[in-house]
Amino acid sequence: MEKTMDELFTPLRVGKMTLPNRLVMAPMTRSRSVDRSVNALTAEYYAQRATAGLIITEGTQPSVIGQGYIDTPGLHSAEQAAAWRGVTDAVHAAGGRIFVQLMHSGRVGHPSLYPDGALPVGPSAIATGGQMYTPHGMVDHPVPREMTREDIGWAVADFVSAARYAMDAGFDGVELHGANGYLIQQFLADGSNHRTDAYGGSVENRVRFADEVVRAVADAIGPERVGIRISPGSTSEGVSESDPAELYGTLIRTLAPYGLAYVHIMEFGHRAVTELIRSGWPGTLILNPHRTGTEPSVTPEAARDVLRDGLADAVSLASLWLANPDLPRRIRSGGPFNRPDPSTYFGGDHRGYTDYPTLSA
């Protein structure tokens, strides 16, 4: 097993960092930030997983209106940055590397999340058709308020501000969440973006918001500290894309000159688009591989295969990291692997969060 998994343990240069292995901890929402701020338990959770080549945190809102779920952390105040410093210090003390994922949820939200009871915002006044969990039960996502040009400018500025707070908090970099049906993908997707101005209509217009966010954040903190996550063809949160090959081919050509740390693909099938991006992207590519889009989770064997085939430079795994804080060691030894408990994925205390045993335990 160790011999066949050698590809996973080859060091990799990402930005100005050298990762000791190519096993990336994917961003996973855990909904344990009751006051929108992380805490000592969060620090313990991420530090336990510091043997990852790179940790990418749970989605973290860059503004109040960017929140899409209850009990998710923010990074839009000095107090939140100071709390995150406890996490990054713990990860670095354990020898790890950590990027924060900046996630503006856009139309995926609800007035109950915001102090002023405002509507969530999106590129167009089109609801997701889905629902959100609240302590009082499930509620429908409302029709969002269509963003004005001023709103778009503020959203870009919020990403920049959050990225600067991330540097204050000691993060090694930021990942911009352009996947899974959230704000950046809402602008990319023609199913959720019906605008008729410079941000809608043609593919070139629909990539404009993503381009402006990436360029602004890269200018603020350095492109080697910036990654972006995309999910071509995803239908998460009600988005739809009629032209994923053209759309993401254009996006990759637009971003290629910037010298970003990486592109991170969350695959929902559409392997041909992944291959297109691989051929056109000059930098590091991280892949969460789902060739058919129906695989329940990424296995160590699937991770090895995409590296062996040259489809990616590193592989992100999710539920395996959740349940196995010492995942690289377990992969080297061929297991055994702890099974995650889905009932503890979202919310709660240390159970199903920091109490999964290591092999040594």
User: Which are the catalytic amino acids?
Assistant: 182
Half-sphere exposure of 306 (CA within 13 A, CB side): 27
Question: H or E element: which one contains 228?
Answer: strand 226-230
Please name which of 76, 99, 78, 77 lies closest in space to residue 87, comparing C-alpha atoms. 99
Asked if 193 and 181 count as a contact pair (C-beta separation under 8 A), the reply is no
Residue 330's φ and ψ, nearest 5 degrees, are -70, -40
Give the DSSP per-residue string, 12-41. Answer: EEETTEEESSSEEE--------TTSS--HH
Total count of residues recorded for the chain: 361
Look up residue 314 and give its amino acid: A
Tell whether the torsion through CA atoms of 356, 358, 359 and 361 is positive or negative. negative
Q: Give yes or no for a cis peptide into 336 (omega within 30° of 0).
A: yes
- Separation between Cα atoms, residue 97 and residue 15, nearest integer Å: 12
Query: What six digits make up the tokens of 346?
Result: 């979202």
Amino acid letter for position 74: G
Asked if 325 and 355 touch (Cβ cutoff 8 Å), the reply is: no
Cα angle 109, 204, 286; round to 5: 65
Output the CA angle 219-224-229, nearest 5 degrees: 90
**Exposed, middle or buried by CB within 10 Å (0-12, 13-18, 19+), for 280?**
middle
Of 211, 212, 193, give the one whose Cα is nearest residue 202: 193
